[in-house]
Amino acid sequence: EHSNTTYDHSIVYPGPNLNMIVGANGTGKSSIVCAICLGLAGKTAILGRGDKVGLYVKRGCNKGSVEIELHKAQGNLVINREIHVENNQSTWMLNGKHTSQKTVEEEVKALQIQVSNLCQFLPQEKVGEFAKMTKVELLEATEKSVGPPEMYEFHCELKTFRTKERELENVCKEKASALEKFKQRNERNKHDVERYYEKKRHLDNIKMLEKKKPWVEYETARKELEGVKKSREDAKKQLKTVRESQAPMLKKIQHIDSQLRPIENQMKDKTVSIREASQKCKQKQDQLDRKHREIEDIKQAFSLKQTEAADRQKRISNTRRMIDDLRAELANVGDQSDVTPQINAVNAELRRIQEEKAKMEGEKADMRREKDNLNGELLKNRLRSLDDMMKIKEEKLRGRSKDTYAAVQWLRQNKHIFSGNVYEPMMLVISVRNPNHAKYVENHIPFNDLRAFVFQKREDMEKFMMEVRDSQNLRVNSVFAPEESCATRAPSRPIESLKRFGFFAYLRELFDAPEEVMSYLCNQYKVHDVPVGTDQTKAMIKTVIEEPYLKVLYTAEEKYSLKKSFYSGKTSTSNSAVRPSQYLTMAVDAEEKRQLEEQIRVRPETPMSAMQERAAKLDHCDNELRAQKKGLSEMKGKKRQLEQKISTKQDRWVAHTHTQAVSEYPYLVKLSMEKVYMALETVGMTAEKTKLETDCREGSAELRVLEQACAMLEQRKARLLEMCKGLMRRAREICNMDPGESAVPPDLHTAFSQLPDTMDEIDAMLNEERSRADCFTGLSENVVDEYNRREQEIKNLEKELDEKSNALKTYRQNISEAKERWLNPLKQLVEQINDKFSDFFRSMQCAGEVDLHSENEEEYDKYGIRIRVKFRSSTQLHELTAHHQSGGERSVSTMLYLMALQELNRCPFRVVDEINQGMDPVNERRVFDIVVRTACKETTSQYFFITPKLLQNLQYADEMTVLCVHNGPHMLPPNKWDEKAFTRRCVRRKGK
């Protein structure tokens, strides 16, 4: 028993007609529906409460069983199913014997029981889906439910026939098109064949001209080569004469060069010595100038002291004491060691620190670049990853709903036609923050809403549905967001107050979505008020479900729904397993993204922080060293100032330095004189050499011209020789001659004799022949073969097209006969349903119609049953959808359609669970009367009508069976219930 907390077992004895199963919420009415479904080998998906059969066993029990007895003319069937919680397995018995589930399914199917058909078996969780069924789905369900056994088979056969007919039509069209193309092409090819032979004559002429052309080129180049050879020999003779006349002058110039070379080398040595002596003199002179400036400074200071002496007569004694102090200070400073080495050491240390800081700055820049590069690459990878994730989501959507995917593509091209915000299906725009939490969001939002488009404005939604649904025949869902946003609506209680139960967040906090999408989900599914818990929540579930404000909650692996009885105030609980997410999770990509972000965050920080600490230490050392250097520099400067005041020692030292500088000058003069003598000695030789070079230069100009001419002629001769060899080789190759042959073959010689003999004439004739040949474009030597081959293909295609056309004609005749077998009974069936449906609506002062709808009679997979209803006189008939009518109106329409099927139904029984929920009292009373009137006829099948409440003073029939389900922790167990004693007490109480 699914989530049952009220009783351990119960036996139900239904009547042959209408069975009203009545009981307050939570007492176990729907358990009967679950028992019928599971006992007849139905799938758990039909019930919509849990995907594991073990979840339908009472909590705390290891197993549960269902036994159903079915009427059968040849002997009743007793089906027993025992469900084991531990492994979600079942054992089956048929008439007391163990059997397989497949055997049970076959027996149930043979009795025309279809628990998967919403027209026959409508559980509480599937009531809303009936109105969402498409016209095609409703037709198939109706055919299976009330049509003759062969009607649905004929329909499927017709759809198959139509598919094959389209294939044959396409084949015929393709072959007819190919045949026409082949005929047109061969008609053109007739002319091409004629043009081919004319073109061939021009090509033969071109070929012969191209064979003769290299021989003419070779002969022209050979004649030019002979002329170049003769010119080269003449130039060589003239060059020899000029060289012989210049030989004596060249020898004399070489002799003078041999005499000048030693003198020039000595002059170079003297120049080097003069340069070194000049450098020394300059250094001494610079020192001397510097000392002179220092003496001038002291003299000026002394003069200033003399000028001020008259004014300082009164302070003479103090001045003398200051002089003594300065001398004493000089003595002290003089005793100290020289601070220069210390300053040099400090400077070296400062340079080392600066170099280390510069190196560190380079490393920091490299790290920053590396981090920037890494971040940039990661951003690109993340963008690609997101693109890939979106593509995967779109592929999943296409696999589940091709129509929705097609509508997405249309919306992306036409978004500009809408005035408000329009969002693609929710599964594409919802982003779950943690992949592990996607299953809660996906279990809470039905797939029909996950694939629904969300609109900010109602008029945009109507425009969209008119285009996509009505014009393009796409099955899509769409919703519009509340006018006032609910996206930020506060929960009933803050999540902190629920953390003691293991709840960590509300559903809204687990995902992100655009505001209008979030507003719709908060309004429709209360995602802001549904808490999500953990295994701790599961362990405390008995305590949790007693909290009065919880309606729906999640543990780590289950969903719990809590309902409070209006009559007794007791809370009933149902739970189901949380299915794994199929559409909203991308766990691999999210984990990879998290690891990459962690790598970026950790990798550069550690070395960067250590480097910053190191830089701070270096800055501190740098500051200390600079302070130390400043002190040493001040000490060194002070000492220098004191030393400069000792004029006598300074004058003596300057005089000595001046003497050293002057002593260098005689040596410098001596070297300069020697250099002058050598220069004069070379003047005579250089003048003679210049005269000889001038005389020789005049002859050299002529010599160079002759040499260049010879070189050019040599190059030209080599080039022409290679050209001749190449032209001869090319001429042999073009004429297919052996390498040793030099004479043109006789047949070619005869052909050549009829062609021009000059290059200009050959080129002119070639251009003319090529121009003529170019006029015949697109021709080849295969044009004739292709023409003949295509003629044969035309004959084959004509034969195949004739065969396929005959086959298509026969197939269409078969389809026409099959269509008559299917369509005429179907129209009669729909007309009968329409009569009943219309009568029911007229009795309620409303209007309703049922018709067979098809946009194209030949598209048998597009046929459907259309339900149109009108509940108010001021409105028009509207198609029954999840958008046009209210929930109560859809329930009324659904119930009346099912009742219209009642007398036509081939199935032995029908189940409808709580369909009157949401109806207003007037409609509920009218529907109840119709149900009683229709289901209590002898011709109708058995009917189970489950409801939590009944209105007062309803009209009942004797054929009804009322089953009161009123179990609970404070009620008698079923085996102790005495119906007769209960009746006696009621009669006695009325008598009193």
Q: Which residue has the tokens 């109560």?
A: 888
pLDDT of residue 643: 58
Which pLDDT score is estimated for 274? 67
pLDDT at position 537 is 93
pLDDT of 918: 62
Burial of 975 (0-12, 13-18, 19+ CB in 10 A): exposed
Q: Which helix (H) or strand (E) holds 81?
A: strand 77-84
- The residue type found at 461 is M
- φ, ψ for residue 494 (rounded to 5)? -65, 150
Question: In angstroms, how far is CA 948 from the centroid of its own chain?
Answer: 51
Q: Would you state the pLDDT for residue 567?
A: 64
Strand boundaries in 164-207, DSSP class E: none
* Collapsed DSSP state (helix, strand, coil) of residue 176: helix
Question: How many Cβ atoms are within 10 Å of 586's Cβ, its own excluded?
Answer: 22
Do both 457 and 583 map to the same domain? Answer: yes
The rounded distance, in Å, linking the Cα atoms of 257 and 688 is 11
- Distances in whole angstroms, Cα of residue 46 to Cα of each of 36, 127, 638, 920, 946: 12, 11, 106, 28, 17
Q: What value does the CA radius of gyration of the chain take, rounded to a whole number of Å?
A: 57
For residue 654, name the pLDDT band (cuts at 50, 70, 90).
very low
Lowest mean pLDDT among 207-211, 358-362, 595-599: 595-599
Overall size of the chain counted in residues: 992
In a domain, 701, yes or no: no
Asked if residue 884 belongs to a domain, the reply is no
User: Cα(265)–Cα(817) distance, rounded to whole angstroms?
Assistant: 126
**Last residue of one domain, picked from the residues 632, 647, 677:** 632
Are 361 and 399 contained in the same domain? Answer: no
Q: Is residue 792 part of a domain?
A: no
| Range from 69-73, 144-148, 318-322, 359-363 carrying the lowest mean pLDDT | 318-322
**171: CB partners within 8 A, 6+ apart:** 804
Indicate the helix (H) or strand (E) that contains 352. helix 340-400
Same structural domain for residues 565 and 626?
A: no
* Helix axes 665-734 and 149-309, enclosed angle (nearest 10): 160
Q: Is the pLDDT of residue 517 over 90?
A: yes
- Checking DSSP bridges between strand 77-84 and strand 63-70, what pairing results, if any? antiparallel
Residue 555: band (very low, low, confident or very high) from pLDDT cuts 50, 70, 90: very high
Q: Are residues 4 and 89 in the same domain?
A: yes
Average pLDDT of span 285-299: 72
Task: State the chain's mean pLDDT as an integer.
Answer: 78
| Cα distance between residue 398 and residue 408, in whole Å | 10
- Vertex 151, ends 145 and 155: CA angle to 5°? 110
Q: Is 744 left (phi over 0), alpha (psi -120 to 50) or beta?
A: beta
162 vs 325, residue with greater confidence: 162
What pLDDT shows up at residue 692?
Answer: 65
DSSP 264-276: HHHHHHHHHHHHH
Could you write out the DSSP letters of every residue in 698-745?
Answer: HHHHHHHHHHHHHHHHHHHHHHHHHHHHHHHHHHHHHTT--TT--SPP
User: 992 Cβ partners below 8 Å, 6+ apart?
Assistant: none
Domain that holds residue 917: 1-117+910-980
Dihedral sign, CA of 780, 784, 789, 790? positive
3-state secondary structure of 425: coil
Q: How far apart are CA 245 and CA 238, in angstroms?
A: 11
Half-sphere exposure of 845 (CA within 13 A, CB side): 6
What is the predicted pLDDT for the residue at 3?
42
State CA 561 to chain mean position distance: 38
Tokens 């500051």 belong to: 623
Are both 366 and 434 inside the same structural domain?
no
How far is C-alpha 18 from the chain's CA centre?
A: 57
* Confidence check: pLDDT of 264 > 70: no
Q: Is 158 part of a structural domain of the chain?
A: no
Give the pLDDT score at 646: 47
Claim to verify: residue 592 and residue 560 sit in the same structural domain: yes
Tell me the three state secondary structure of residue 20: strand
User: Which pLDDT score is estimated for 684?
Assistant: 63
Provide the terminal-to-terminal Cα distance of the chain, rounded to the nearest Å. Answer: 41
Most distant CA atoms of the chain, gap in Å:
170
Cβ(8)–Cβ(58) below 8 Å: yes
Neighbours of 905 (CB within 10 A): 19
Buried-exposed string 256-270: b where 16+ CB fall within 10 A, e elsewhere: beeeeeeeeeebeeb
| Average pLDDT of the residues in 327-333 | 64
One domain, residues 499 and 401: yes
What is the structure's pLDDT at 230?
Answer: 84
Alpha-carbon distance of 728 to 722, in angstroms, equals 10
Residue 278: pLDDT band by 50, 70, 90 thresholds?
low
Distance of alpha carbon 910 from alpha carbon 113, whole angstroms: 9
Cβ atoms within 10 Å of 685's Cβ, excluding its own: 14
Q: pLDDT-based confidence at 331, cuts 50/70/90?
A: low
pLDDT of residue 666: 57
Q: Distances from the Cα of 466 to the Cαs of 46, 455, 471, 474, in angstroms?
A: 31, 14, 6, 10
Return d(Cα 283, Cα 664) in angstroms, integer.
11
Segment 364-401, tens digit of pLDDT: 666 766 655 555 555 455 556 656 777 888 888 888 89
Together in a domain, 431 and 558: yes
pLDDT tens string 38-55: 888 888 777 766 678 888
Least confidently predicted of 475-479, 766-770, 905-909: 905-909
How many structural domains are present in the chain?
A: 3
Asked, for residue 325, whether it belongs to a domain, the answer is no
Highest mean pLDDT pick, 100-109, 266-275, 878-887: 100-109
Classify residue 712: in a domain, yes or no. Answer: no
pLDDT at 491: 93
Q: What CATH number did the domain enclosing 952 receive?
A: 3.40.50.300
Q: Is-above-0.75 flag for pTM? A: no
Q: Which range has the worst mean pLDDT, 437-446, 460-469, 565-574?
A: 565-574
Binned at pLDDT 50, 70 and 90, residue 530 comes out as very high
What average pLDDT does range 275-304 have in this prediction? 71
C-alpha distances in angstroms, 383 versus 223, 380, 593? 73, 5, 11
Phi, psi for residue 38 in degrees, rounded to 5: -70, -35
Single-letter residue type at 683: V
What strands, in cross-sheet order, belong to the sheet with 121-122? 121-122, 909-913, 942-947, 18-22, 961-964
Q: What are all long-range contacts of 755-759, with beta carbons under 8 Å and residues at least 24 apart? A: 755/208, 755/209, 755/212, 757/216, 758/216, 759/213, 759/216, 759/217, 759/220
* CA–CA dist 213, 299 (Å, integer): 105
Between residues 577 and 713, which one has the greater pLDDT? Answer: 577
**572 within 8 A of 563, measured Cβ to Cβ:** yes
At 587, the pLDDT band (50, 70, 90 cuts) reads very low
Whether residue 104 is found in the same domain as residue 91:
yes
Structure confidence at residue 572 (pLDDT): 82
Q: Looking at the structure, do residues 573 and 439 belong to the same domain, yes or no?
A: yes
pLDDT tens digits, 159-193? 787 778 777 878 888 888 888 888 887 777 777 77
pLDDT tens for 122-153 read 776 666 666 677 888 888 887 777 777 778 87
DSSP 467: I
Band (229; pLDDT cuts 50, 70, 90): confident
Domain membership flag for residue 466: yes
Looking at the structure, tell me whether residues 107 and 50 fall in a common domain.
Answer: yes
What confidence category does residue 685 fall into, taking pLDDT thresholds of 50, 70 and 90? low
More confident residue, 783 or 471: 471
pLDDT of residue 55: 82
* 853 and 901 Cβ atoms separated by less than 8 Å: no
- Whole-angstrom distance, CA of residue 426 vs CA of residue 476: 13
How far is residue 583 from each of residues 37, 399, 447, 451, measured CA to CA in Å? 29, 11, 10, 10
Band of pLDDT at residue 584, cut at 50, 70 and 90: confident
Q: Which residue has the higher pLDDT, 529 or 966?
A: 529
Phi, psi (deg, nearest 5) at residue 913: -110, 115
Are 612 and 533 in the same domain? no
Whether residue 499 lies inside any domain: the answer is: yes
Q: What is the pLDDT of residue 1?
A: 36
Lowest mean pLDDT among 590-594, 802-806, 889-893: 590-594
pLDDT tens profile 881-914:
767 778 778 887 877 777 777 767 667 887 877 6
287 falls in which pLDDT band (50, 70, 90)? confident
Q: Rounded to an integer, what distance in angstroms lies between the CA atom of residue 430 and that of residue 453? A: 12
Supply the pLDDT for residue 233. 83
How far is it, in rounded angstroms, from Cα 76 to Cα 67?
Answer: 13
Lowest-confidence pick of 133-147, 212-226, 255-269, 476-490 = 255-269
8 A C-beta contact, residue 402 and residue 371: no
Residue 479 bridge partners (DSSP): 454
